[in-house]
Structure 1
Amino acid sequence: MMQPDIYNHFHRDERDFVDKAWEWVEHAGQYHEVKLTDFLDPRQRYILESLAHRHPDVHVFFEGGHPDAERTRGWVAPDYRDPAGEDWGLQVLSVTSGDQKFLALEHGDYMGSILGLGIKRSKIGDIHVLEDGCHAVVSADISSYLHLNLSQVHRVHVMTEILSVEKLRVKETKLQEMDLTVASLRLDGISSDVHRMSRAKILDPIKAGRCRVNWKVEEDPSAILSDGDMVSIQGLGRFKVLETGGLTKKGRYRVKVGKYT
């Protein structure tokens, strides 16, 4: 039975996932069932971990193909079960092409083409755009379908191959560091400087629910950011608050951020 205070900790848009995750936890604890989830984003992972901690007889593990994976599958089980040797159902979709235009393709191009085949986002893990192609971690149950049907990415003809997850090649995350001086540590103020937009324009995606702070929807432009916060605005990209320093002589805050490139 759902504990009545659980919803107080999560955004209203997350309630459907909270219900589903709590059911996984309850079934693992009461009926000794094991659940291998689809790919979860970091916020969903946090929710599932939080709920699992509420049940003394349940534990949860995560795997996304490499140690720093952002999107991972969860394994929810009774505490006496060990995930060692379990099949996580992960494979790698390798995408290559002989067309030179292929080298200009970006993360969103691959994502759009895969989803355009009718694939749910929850079946796709991290997508790594490499210098000579792309490696996408995918759920094993849809890998053959992708291999047979993904022939174009953004009008560029491509070839695909299915690899074991041990052959995954990972793109190194790069951050463009920026030193800012801002009037306050508000979400809208820092975001407008990072994306070089007016504060008035940055308000639209935030108030429309297209902004996430630490993977949680944040609709309040006045929310205060702090060291380590990850901010993602749909259509604009992501940045991380690396350090908030002292005040300048004019009373402005020194902030160092890393913008994902």
Structure 2
Amino acid sequence: MNLFEHFRKEEHPFIEQALDWLAFVEERHETKLTDFLDPRQVYILQTLLARFDEVKLTPFGGFNGAERCRVLLHQHYYEPKEDESGLAAFQLTASSQASFQKLTHRDILGALMAAGLKRDKFGDIHIHPDQAQIVVAEEIADYLRLQFTQANRVSVLLESIEFSQLIPVVNEWKTMNITVSSSRVDVVAGEVFRLSRSKILSPIRGGSLRVNWMVVDSPSFIVQEGDIVSLRGFGRFKIQKNEGNTRKGNTRLEIGALL
């Protein structure tokens, strides 16, 4: 069976790249540190490892449970050290509590992108009542200190911190059950976010919806059990279980939502 048949077409370019990484590590007996990967990409790497007996992976995200991680690919006998993580951590504050409270996750993400950084150069962004914490690639840390001084017109201060100072945000997924006429992403997302068909189509076609961290701009895209769907400005949900069809042919889904 063709390896690519197990994955969606949109994932094939990453799979090809990942296979090159794994072959390099196995053949050269060297290590390979990736940029930040999302959980779906890490899962794909873990799946591909079955073809490479001599290679293991070690993820680094700054703390246990990090969503976005850099991955060190290495020989199975090699024990990675913490200083090989290629990470740096920062604490972000504003001149006042009132100024900081104006900032959202989107503001900070947008400011990082506006500073010229690609998304694969920084990891999780955690917003707390009086500060934010960011994990970034070590090689861009100095650049970030110089360039990241403002977010949504709020002056901010970056301070280097130890990984032990990172405070993870614990997400609580709310379980809900829905019945939909189709597993198309516009139908399922519209039901979860309580948006009419006319209101869900525009953000999807505008690139605001992601499935497993990939932009999906086709309303007819079929979602499956295990998929994580996010819509900018509305939250995210995961399809925890497909509970089968009703007598009328509709589909029952168990959803975990962060709204």
Could you say whether these structures have the same fold, taking a TM-score greater than 0.5 normalized by the shorter chain as the test?
yes
Change in CA separation of 1:153 and 1:209 when aligned onto 2, cut-off 3 Å: closer
In the alignment, residue 137 of structure 1 is paired with which amino acid? V
Change in CA separation of 1:74 and 1:224 when aligned onto 2, cut-off 3 Å: closer
Tell me by how many angstroms 1:208 deviates: 6.9
Change in CA separation of 1:87 and 1:183 when aligned onto 2, cut-off 3 Å: same
1:17 aligns with 2:10: no
- Alpha-carbon contact 1:65-1:165 (below 8 Å) kept: yes
In the alignment, residue 220 of structure 2 is paired with which amino acid? P
Q: How does 1:1-261 map to 2 (within 5 A)?
A: 5-99=2-96, 100-183=98-181, 186-203=184-201, 206=204, 211-215=209-213, 219=218, 221=220, 223=222, 225-226=224-225, 228-234=226-232, 236-242=234-240, 255-261=253-259
Aligned positions, number: 257
Deviations along 1:163-201, whole A, 9 cap, x unmatched? 122211112213355454544555333211222211344
- Alpha-carbon contact 1:143-1:162 (below 8 Å) kept: no
TM-score (norm 2): 0.84
- Alpha-carbon contact 1:93-1:147 (below 8 Å) kept: no
CA distance in 2, matches of 1:72, 1:207: 29
In the alignment, residue 20 of structure 1 is paired with which amino acid? Q
* Root-mean-square deviation (Å): 3.0
CA distance in 2, matches of 1:185, 1:148: 46
In the alignment, residue 40 of structure 1 is paired with which amino acid? L
Q: Judge which range, 157-166 or 128-137, deviates more.
A: 157-166
Change in CA separation of 1:57 and 1:154 when aligned onto 2, cut-off 3 Å: same
- Alpha-carbon contact 1:97-1:158 (below 8 Å) kept: yes
Tell me by how many angstroms 1:121 deviates: 1.0
Change in CA separation of 1:13 and 1:230 when aligned onto 2, cut-off 3 Å: closer
Secondary structure of the residue aligned to 1:158 is strand
Gaps of 5+ in 1: none
Gaps of 5+ in 2: none
Secondary structure of the residue aligned to 1:53 is helix
CA distance in 2, matches of 1:126, 1:225: 25
- Alpha-carbon contact 1:187-1:225 (below 8 Å) kept: no
- Alpha-carbon contact 1:147-1:160 (below 8 Å) kept: yes
In the alignment, residue 63 of structure 1 is paired with which amino acid? F
Secondary structure of the residue aligned to 1:61 is strand
In the alignment, residue 51 of structure 2 is paired with which amino acid? R
TM-score (norm 1): 0.83
Secondary structure of the residue aligned to 2:35 is strand
Sequence identity (%): 38
CA distance in 2, matches of 1:64, 1:144: 19
Secondary structure of the residue aligned to 2:41 is helix
CA distance in 2, matches of 1:166, 1:116: 28
Change in CA separation of 1:238 and 1:26 when aligned onto 2, cut-off 3 Å: same
In the alignment, residue 5 of structure 2 is paired with which amino acid? N
In the alignment, residue 125 of structure 1 is paired with which amino acid? G
Deviations along 1:189-230, whole A, 9 cap, x unmatched? 32112222113443455567754444456646373544x442
